[in-house]
Chains A and B, each alone.
Chain A
């Protein structure tokens, strides 16, 4: 993994989005696609979560690491998440940011 990989990885997902964008733009069934969008995204999300958890659960490095390094990792992740949440909200109030419509 290096910067080139990062670039290619990003380009791959951009290309897929572009394909989807073209499908959406040219579709003659726009109303039908819109109606089904939430259900399809739900299905894809749950499939992704299932296989992600399965992959992590079968990874010996993760399973054995959870017992020994778990609390240290949780501390790093927890501190980052709490600080990002709190300082993000503070910055949001400071800049008076509203959600973009």
Chain B
């Protein structure tokens, strides 16, 4: 049921973009430009979700005690995520006959489509577009599939599947999936922050070879 609702809202949003008059997009896609990012409706909803997740954490009893129990084991999965993303980038680039460095550069964004595509489009517009689609799909597919995973599916694996969007657009679906684990938001956000920093560093590093 949950996955149908998620799909339904994605289809509704995409369908509205196709069928509503283009003048509506000026209103719906409004954004205030700040130095470091654009604040539109997506970011406003995301900001409200972050506040609400904070409220959830604030309502938690014995939070300090719970944080002390955070296991460093999740770092193994963070390292695996980077290794898998780079390996998949090499593998698919080889299959498609693309330069290996292109596969590495676009997949090293670890799902952060806005950063990866805008950064790589400075070097090559088609590469920027490909980075956009690959990373958008990496972000969107887990949103749809997450509710289908069994309840006892390992959190450390689930939070690494989307990559860095696990701490923003995928955060609500992950938090709801692991509502029975009070520490889940802390792991997900910390892992997402590490992935975002690693992604920015790796894209910059691999773009040196373009």
- Please report A residues at the B interface, Cβ cutoff 8 Å: 1-6, 8-10, 12-13, 16-27, 30, 33-34, 37-38, 40-42, 44-58, 61-62, 65-66, 69-70, 72-81, 83-85, 87-89, 91-92, 95, 97, 99-101
Contacts and interface: CB of A to CB of B under 8 A. Distances in A.
Interface string B13-53: 11111100010010011000001110011100111111111
**Cβ-closest 3 pairs across A and B:** A24-B58, A20-B54, A57-B17
The DSSP consensus for interface residues of chain B is helix
A3 B200 contact: yes
A100 B46 contact: no
Interface string B163-178: 1000111001101101
A22 B47 contact: no
Given A48-B172, A56-B17, A79-B92, A99 B57 contact: no
Given A24-B55, A58-B29, A79-B88, A91 B168 contact: no
B88 A49 contact: no
A13 B173 CA distance: 17
Interface string B96-108: 1010000100110
